[in-house]
Structure 1
Amino acid sequence: MESRHVSRVISASPQTVYEVAVNVDNLLTWASGLAHSEVTREGDTLWVDSPMGRVSVRFVAPNEFGILDHDVTLPSGATVTNPLRVIAHPDGAEIIFTVRQLDLTDDEFDSDATTVGEDLDRLRELVEEVTRSRPGT
């Protein structure tokens, strides 16, 4: 199994990036690889229609370390853990998503990594828009 780290540098503080990314209401805006419809909440479990079908998502508890790891339980019942981190960067923050090949072909793996990169590009745009509207962040 291969892993690939997909990252983007965002011109905002790590705290701001984390706050935007962890806000479930923002998932539809930036996380196309995960959410295609409104997010339904049941306690700390999220339900979304995704490219993989209806899945449940559980993020780690809010924390000060920028960790946004989340488990996605697929329609098959299999659970995939997705490491996602926000770290400090000289130009603001860097968000890093680890894509794992698991049972994917090489082409599917490349496609997943491309989708994650596009999602992180949308997150960067969203964070920078929020930052422009909130001076001092």
Structure 2
Amino acid sequence: MTNPALHLSTPINVSPAEVAAFAGDPANLPAWAAGLSNGIREEAGRWITDSPMGEVEVRFGPHTDLGILGHDVIFPDGTVVLNPLRVLTNGTGAEVVFTLFRLPGVDLAEFDRDADMVRADLARLRAQLESAHGCGTVSDE
């Protein structure tokens, strides 16, 4: 069985390699991912953040250097949520694409709120990187 999916993206005027290096480093997540704004810490090789539900682990796959930034979020009850995230070449810059799945039990209003949160996270990522590199932002038009 599959779930409905929404692909959300933003262009970033920074090389794909630089975007992947920054966004694929769990230590940088609090700078752009609102759900981790309280911080993240490395403990025994695991990246942990505190949530209202307890400690949550964030686990990236092995290919962040290739722009494959998909990561699992593991909740205290053992639930694992996959967050597909890719950095693609877009001209001389990058396109960051996040796939949001509408999981069973998530109503449309909650899914729309999640999508808005992802859009805001991607905008923060873009602003963070372009500001650090002295770039102007790309128009959303």
| TM-score range relative to shorter protein | 0.7 to 0.9
Q: Provide the residue aligned with 2:32 in structure 1.
A: 30
Question: Which of 111-120 and 49-58 deviates more?
Answer: 49-58
AA aligned opposite 2:73: V
SS in 1 for 2:127: helix
Distance (whole Å) between structure 2 residues aligned to residue 59 and residue 125 of structure 1: 22
Distance (whole Å) between structure 2 residues aligned to residue 78 and residue 116 of structure 1: 20
Q: Provide the residue aligned with 1:8 in structure 2.
A: 10
After superposition, residues 38-49 of structure 1 pair within 5 angstroms as 38-49=39-50
Structure 2: gaps spanning 5 or more residues: 136-141
Question: Which of 52-61 and 98-107 deviates more?
Answer: 52-61
After superposition, residues 1-137 of structure 1 pair within 5 angstroms as 1-33=3-35, 35-50=36-51, 53-90=54-91, 92-103=93-104, 104-132=106-134
Distance (whole Å) between structure 2 residues aligned to residue 25 and residue 75 of structure 1: 20
TM value normalised by structure 2: 0.84
How many residue pairs end up in the alignment? 132
Distance (whole Å) between structure 2 residues aligned to residue 61 and residue 95 of structure 1: 18
Distance (whole Å) between structure 2 residues aligned to residue 59 and residue 40 of structure 1: 14
CA spacing shift, 1:50–1:123, aligned 2, 3 Å: farther
CA spacing shift, 1:126–1:4, aligned 2, 3 Å: same
Superposed CA RMSD in Å reads 1.9
Distance (whole Å) between structure 2 residues aligned to residue 23 and residue 55 of structure 1: 17
Q: CA deviation at 1:52?
A: 6.0
TM value normalised by structure 1: 0.87
Structure 1: gaps spanning 5 or more residues: none
Q: CA deviation at 1:45?
A: 2.0
Q: CA deviation at 1:51?
A: 6.5
CA spacing shift, 1:51–1:130, aligned 2, 3 Å: farther
Distance (whole Å) between structure 2 residues aligned to residue 36 and residue 116 of structure 1: 14
Question: Which of 88-97 and 44-53 deviates more?
Answer: 44-53
Distance (whole Å) between structure 2 residues aligned to residue 115 and residue 52 of structure 1: 19
CA deviations over 1:104-136 (Å, ceiling 9, x no partner): 111111111110010000000011022129xxx
AA aligned opposite 1:3: A
* Displacement over 6 Å in runs of 4+: none
CA spacing shift, 1:40–1:109, aligned 2, 3 Å: same
